[in-house]
Amino acid sequence: MPRFAANLTMMFNEYAFLDRFQAAADAGFEAVEYLFPYDHPAEVVAARLQAAGLKQALFNMPPGDWSKGDRGLAALPHRSKEFRTAVDLGIRYAGVIGTPLLHMMAGIADASDASAVRSYRDALRFAADRTGEAGVGLVIEPINRRDMPGYFLNDFDRALAFLAEIDQPHVRLQFDIYHRQILHGDVIMALRSMMAHIGHIQIAAVPGRNEPGTGELDDAQICAEIDALGYTGFVGCEYRPQGGTVDGLGWRAACQGVPSLSASGTGTGSDKAGTR
């Protein structure tokens, strides 16, 4: 079974943000992630993390003004100065809290607009250099446009192409199973082919974005595949509980002991002669 990180933006909303750390630890989580810690001093967040005995898996760099519709700044040419300040703030928080990974959101921009593409490339290069100097990993995440209309980075192959241009081992893909299924499907084959580039994984049922096991995918099978592929990072539980957070945690036990498709010798998708 993978190591799971509770996403404190979506889970444990029964509590105020700073109280969600202890709630996650009490519910058996080893680690946490969340979108943004910036409403609180980094030292206060770090103290809550430590007091709960948790590891930090990941959080996002500041996205601009979320309440006004910003969803990252990287692809916005006219916001490049603000973007660079956001990168430095993210790295400062990363140092104090002790996260190994920062997610750089792309922003709302036309993916076919040359100036947006240029801005994104420059931004990724800048963030890659800065995080590299700071010893922090950097991830980029394709996000589906049903949840985030107009989001610039909405294609997994395109994300891999941007990563190939940067070609730095600390800059990797955030593979959110929920977005992958909505954008392209073929989750297990994509995990297999992209695993060498994956820095972080997140999970939620599709289409409801609720507890794994409540949607159209066999999430226990997918978790088995993640294990079989040798992934040792955290899998972020980025879902909205259908009811109480703790009441809905039974899905974790259902993931235990499930053999992967590759271990059982099935599921290659091959239709070659001789395989039947």
Ligand X SMILES: O=C(O)C(=O)[C@@H](O)CO
Which residues are tagged catalytic? Answer: 141, 238
Q: Which of 232, 176, 233 is nearest to 203 (CA)?
A: 176
70 touching ligand X, by CB under 6 A? no
Stretch that binds Mg ion, among 75-83, 85-93, 122-130, 200-208 (CB under 5 A): 200-208
Q: By CB under 6 A, is residue 187 in contact with ligand X?
A: no
Nearest to 25, CA basis, from 35, 38, 12 = 12
Cβ atoms of 62 and 90 within 8 Å: the answer is: yes
Please report how close the Cβ of residue 218 comes to ligand X at its closest, in angstroms: 20
Which residue has the CB atom at the shortest distance from ligand X?
176
- Print the binding letters for residues 23-42 with ligand X: x by CB under 6 A, - otherwise: ------------x-------
176 binds Mg ion (CB under 5 A): yes
Helices (H) and strands (E) in the chain, counts: 9, 8
Token reading at 125:
């290069």
Residue nearest to Mg ion (CB): 176
Output 223 or 261, the one with its CB closest to ligand X.
223
Contact flag: residue 103 with ligand X (CB under 6 A): yes
Tell me the site size for ligand X, rule CB under 6 A.
10
Measured from the CB atom, the residue of 54 and 177 that comes closer to ligand X is 177
The two three-digit tokens of residue 265, written as one number? 């010798």
End-to-end CA distance of the chain: 31
Say how far apart CA 48 and CA 44 lie, in whole Å. 6
3-state secondary structure 104-152: CCECECCCCCHHHHHHHHHHHHHHHHHHHHHCCEEEECCCCCCCCCCEC
Interface with ligand X includes 238 (CB under 6 A)? yes
The amino acid at residue 143 is I
Task: Using the minimum distance from each CB to Mg ion, give the nearer residue, 202 or 210.
Answer: 202
Residues that bind ligand X (CB under 6 A): 35, 60, 103, 105, 141, 143, 176, 179, 202, 238
